[in-house]
A and B are shown apart, each in its own frame.
Chain A
C-alpha cells in the first residue's frame, strides 16, 4: 500500500514537471529586486541633492562676495525667458547656446532624470511581479504598466541621445500597448527566464546611465571642494593667531571629511548601478534553478551605503 502511495506521488511529480517546465519565479526574489531598486533610487537622488545643496551654497557665497559674475550678467542670467512655447521656460534667453542656467538648476534636472530612470526600473520590477502570476484579473494592470514603461524608456533614450533599439534596450524598445499578449505567449513557449533575458540589454543600458550619473556627480563634488577649500588653506597659511588658525584647520578638516564621504558614497552607488545587470541575471538563473536569488552584490552595496552613511549633507548645511 505504501509503495503504491510513493508511486502515485512520483507520478504526480512527473506529471507536474511535464505540465509546467518553468515554474513561476520565487516571488521573494522579485520583491527583493524591487525593494533594492527603491532603496537605490532614494540613496542616489539623495546624493544629487547633496551636490545641489553644496553648489547652491557656494553660488550664494560667490554672489555675496561679488565674485560670481558682474551684476549686469547676473541679472540677465537670472531672467527666465518664455520662448513662444506653452509650458517651457529658459534661463538667460531663447537663442541656441544661450543657456545660462545656474549649475544647481542643471543638477536639479539631472536629479529628475535619474529619478525617472530609477522609477522605470522599479516599474519594470513591479511589472515582473505582476506578470509572474498573470491572470485575467491582472491583464489590464499589466497593459497599463507596459505602456508606462515603454513611454519612460522612450523618454530616457531621447534624453541620453541613444537609439531606442533592441541592441541598446532589448525588450524595453518594444514594450508598450499590446505587448503583454506576446510576452505571455513567450512565457508559455520558452518560460519566464526567456522573457527576462529579453530585457537584459535594457537593464545594462539603464545601469550604465545610472553609474555615469554618479561619476558626473563625483566630478561636481570635486569641483565644489576646489571652489571652497583654497580660501581656507590661504587663511591657514597666513593666519598669525593660533586660535583663529585652529578654527580654520577644523573647518578644512570637516570639509575634507565630508568631501571624502560623499565621494565614497558616490563610488558605492556607481558600483551598485554596475551590479544591476548581474542581479537581473541572477533572477534569470533563479528562474531556471527554482532557488531564491540572493542578489548578493547589489544588496551588499545598498547595505554599505545604509550602514556607513546614514546622512548625506552638503558641508555646512548641518
Chain B
C-alpha cells in the first residue's frame, strides 16, 4: 500500500465521520434519539485515531479493494441519508446506515496492525 493510498483512506473516513456528525445534529434538532449514531461516530473516531497513529508509525495493507468497498457503502449510506428527509421508516434507515458504517469499519480494522 502506498502512502498516498493510506492518506486517501483516512481522508475518506474523516469525510464519513463528518457525515455522521451532521446526521447526529439533524436528529438532535428533530428531537430524535442520537445514541446509536453517536456510538457509530465514536467507533469511527477510534478507527481514525488508530489509523492516524499507525500512519505516523508506518503501516501496510491492501487499500485498493477496501477503498472501492467503502465508496460503495458510502453511496448506499448517502442514499439512505437523503431518504431520511422523507421521514418514513426513519429508524430503519438509520439502522441501515449504521450497518453500512459498521461493516466498513470491520474491513478497515483488519488493516491496522
Contacts and interface: CB of A to CB of B under 8 A. Distances in A.
A233 interface: yes
Contact of A230 (B7, B25, B56): B25
Contact of B52 (A99, A103, A212): A103
Interface stretch (A30-38, A127-135, A216-224, A310-318): A216-224
Contacts of A308: none
A106 B56 contact: yes
Interface in A137-167: 159-161
Contacts of B56: 106-107, 109-110, 216
Contacts of B48: 223
Contact of A219 (B24, B29, B55, B113): B55
* Interface size of A as a range: 20 to 34
Interface of A, helix, strand, loop or mixed by DSSP: helix
Contacts of A161: 58
* Interface size of B as a range: 20 to 34
Nearest to A113: B56
Contacts of B45: 223, 226-227
B41 to A, nearest CB: 8
B51 to A, nearest CB: 9
Interface of B, helix, strand, loop or mixed by DSSP: helix
Interface in B1-59: 3, 7, 10-11, 14, 17-18, 21, 24-25, 28-29, 41, 45, 48-49, 52-53, 55-58
A230 B24 contact: yes
A219 B14 contact: yes
24 contacts: A97-B113, A99-B53, A103-B49, A103-B52, A106-B53, A107-B56, A109-B56, A160-B58, A215-B7, A216-B52, A216-B55, A216-B56, A219-B7, A220-B52, A222-B14, A223-B14, A223-B45, A223-B48, A223-B52, A226-B14, A226-B17, A226-B21, A227-B45, A229-B21
Interface of B: 3, 7, 10-11, 14, 17-18, 21, 24-25, 28-29, 41, 45, 48-49, 52-53, 55-58, 113
Closest 7 CB pairs of A and B: A106-B56, A110-B56, A230-B21, A222-B14, A106-B53, A219-B10, A161-B58
